[in-house]
A and B are shown apart, each in its own frame.
Chain A
Amino acid sequence: MMQIALFGNPNIGKTSLFNQLTGSYEYVGNWSGVTVEEKIGLLKNKQAKLVDLPGTYSLNPLSRDERVVTEFLLRNHFTSIINIVDASQLQRNLHLTIELLEFGKPLMIGLNMIDVAKSRGIEINIQNLSNKLGVAIQPIIARTGKGCNQLLEKITYEEKLPQEPFRLDYGVIIETGIIKLVDLLYECPIELPSKRWLAIQFYSGNDTVKTYLERLLNHALLLELLAETEKELLETTGQTLQDAIFEKREQFIRTVLNDSIVITHEVRQSLTDKIDRFATNKYLGMPIFLTLLYFMFMITFNWIGSPLSDALDSFLSGPFTNWLENILNKFGTSAFLFNLILDGIVPGVGGVLVFVPQIFILFFFISVLEDSGYMARISLVMDRIMQSIGLNGKAFIPMVIGFGCNVPGIMSARTIEQPKERLITILLTPLMSCSARLPVYALFAGVFFGKNQALVVLSLYTMGVVLALVLAKLFSKTMLKSEASVFVIELPPYRVPHLGTLAKSTWDKGKGFIKKAGTFIFGGTVVIWLLSVVGRSGFNVTMDDSLLAELGGFLAPVFAPLGFGSWQAAVALLTGFLAKESVVSTLNIVYHTSSTAFLQGVVADSYTPLSAYSFLVFILLYIPCLATVATIKKETGSMKWTIFSMVYPFIIAYVISFIIFQGGNLLGL
């Protein structure tokens, strides 16, 4: 099957176009780096596969995100390219187009946001632009889908896209260098369409291409070629290779645009300008962000989320359980199955599902932040603080997303250019209190802290953030002090989030939680329940003689100095590694309770406020969940750092919980 790849700058509607062309429910966001891995969809007409790549300004990669794109070009087989181009930012967008044209595969341009361009007073003569570049251009509006069907038709059915070989002359010195390198490459087994492209990328300083070439050619020879060409260029023109290549392209684009665009009128102040006068205001920027964050959490946890969760809980433990009991009785279910379902699965899985409303509300807000364009402003506003701990404002975004779930948070760290800053961000994101930890807080805070519930939960969130900041400082000063921190960020225009898109992205983020409840948590509760009824003496033993109690009892002494040395707590912590929310499921089973209200009663007898708080702090910090650990392994590619990411939180959790519990005892709390 034909495979078409989709390239384009970040924030210009690439993922929207992908959704329009494939009709699939891909996730769209309005800040760089939402497309974290290439995604593949089937075109609506089922004629070809479409690969969605991360947004990139250039094929010379600066971040891990962009490297994915260049490596895709070097290693993957595909038939043709769709290059989405922002009509309102042609000058900048066409740099990428030139690089793609030089690559030599059939290419078609989807000229997006022609409506935005028009409103900014830019009139584009598409025929002229198409002639000058030698490619087919289809004007589209990716958000509404206008023109997308024509694009689809053209890319799949026009056998040979009308395209002449593209060639931009870079001047005698660079051209000589290109010819020398291309000659050397003739003896190499390269399947790429253009050796010239490799040479140009090499001279413009593309490290990924350089690494690729080093496996084919002698390292010293390559360096010599580069040094020779750079030296000659500097002596003759005073320019570096990067500048010279950039300028040639810039000149070419300018002549192309001279003939194909007309500025009809000057723009007035845009809506984005008006909003940014407040959102990125010198003095108001930070207070506005903090206020938004406050409302976001209040709505999620207090105003809307909690009442919904409570209603769901009383439904599940009341009418639903009664109904299920009747059904099971009617069918004469065996006592074993009856108990497994009513004492194991219902409280276990139900105890977690109860939090679905809160988690979806939180994910909804995170989607709004992403889709509206405000996320990039958060980076800007937070940069000064992040700078003081050796990171940059972009590192704050994985942390905000981490409040929803650590896994996408860690993946979004890919937009951070400096490897050191990216690694530190990955290591610290798990300290952000993800939504799966919330059920545990809600349970304990509800029992012990009554009116101060929200305050206690807030203190945990804050503790996670503060620890992350302190540790970032520590890590960047000690283990990882090599590169200087840098920060450049594009602030995309604001747009009103599209309700359909929000619904999709909220669902895409939240469905994992429901899926986990049906798989991990379901399986886990069955195992835990079985272990709780089987003992050395056989089946149907009392809970305290069960294998589970024995296992927990073995581990419990470790946690005794922290105030929660019961076997139940130890078992809950063990299952919490699989998924944090399963701590609640496990407690539901080991205390043989069927409703949250009941569990609260038992918990009230087994903990004191002090030991409960110590337990919550421990839950917050002790270890990233299994899925997060797997993501850290994948993203860092290092076993060493993965193990580190599991060990250091445990030590910190132990020390802090110890201080809280023992210190509190000394103070007589």
Chain B
Amino acid sequence: MVLSDLKQGEKATIKDLSSLNQLVKTRLMNLGIYLGSEVNVKTKMPLGGPCVVECNGQRIGIRLHEANSIRVEKK
């Protein structure tokens, strides 16, 4: 499944980032989101807006499109 499949409040582990836009991938790595990171979906904005994920106590906003390219495994 992909990150955007998760519902608000659900947790998952990152499995694959390779199909992500390079810039977004680098930025997520900067913020400490990488293979094996545990993420928690905090909010999904309406109308296909961005979602907020929490990872290691920090909150990061990314677009739904990008969340679609992040493969995760639900916990």
Contacts and interface: CB of A to CB of B under 8 A. Distances in A.
Contacts of A384: 45-50
A282 B45 contact: yes
A493 to B, nearest CB: 8
Interface of B: 8, 21, 23-24, 26-32, 34, 42-50, 52, 56-63, 66
A545 B43 CA distance: 67
A616 interface: no
Contacts of B66: 486-488
Contacts of B26: 58, 60, 62, 205, 242
B48 A490 contact: no
A272 B62 CA distance: 18
A387 B63 contact: yes
Contacts of A247: 34
A276 B28 contact: no
B32 A91 contact: yes
A265 to B, nearest CB: 13
Given A57-B31, A246-B34, A383 B59 contact: no
A372 to B, nearest CB: 15
Contacts of B50: 380, 383-384, 393, 487
A489 interface: yes
Nearest to A487: B63
B57 A89 contact: yes
B47 to A, nearest CB: 6
Contacts of A282: 8, 43-46
A260 B24 CA distance: 31
A250 interface: yes
A379 B61 contact: yes
A633 interface: no
Highest count of chain B CB atoms <10 Å: which of A242, A380, A484? A380
A267 interface: yes
Contact of A383 (B29, B44, B60, B61): B61
Given A89-B56, A380-B52, A383-B61, A417 B32 contact: no
Given A62-B23, A383-B50, A486-B21, A491 B43 contact: no
A263 B59 CA distance: 20
A88 B66 CA distance: 27
Interface in A384-403: 384, 387, 393
Nearest to B36: A250
Contacts of A497: none
Given A486-B63, A486-B66, A490-B60, A285 B32 contact: no
A276 B42 CA distance: 9
B45 A491 contact: no
A282 B42 CA distance: 10
A488 B45 contact: no
A150 to B, nearest CB: 27
Interface string A371-383: 0000010011101
B45 to A, nearest CB: 6
Given A95-B30, A384-B49, A484-B21, A490 B43 contact: no
Contact of A488 (B32, B48, B49, B60): B60
A636 interface: no
Contact of B29 (A246, A276, A381): A246
A487 B57 contact: no
Nearest to A388: B47
A58 B46 contact: no
A380 B56 contact: no
Contacts of A273: 42
Contact of A489 (B29, B57, B61): B61
B32 A491 contact: no
Contacts of B34: 246-247, 250
B70 to A, nearest CB: 12
B59 A417 contact: no
A229 interface: no
A281 B60 contact: no
Contacts of A484: 21
Contacts of B29: 242, 246
A413 B28 CA distance: 20
Given A387-B63, A487-B50, A92 B45 contact: no
A58 B47 CA distance: 33
Nearest to B8: A282
Contacts of A285: 43, 45
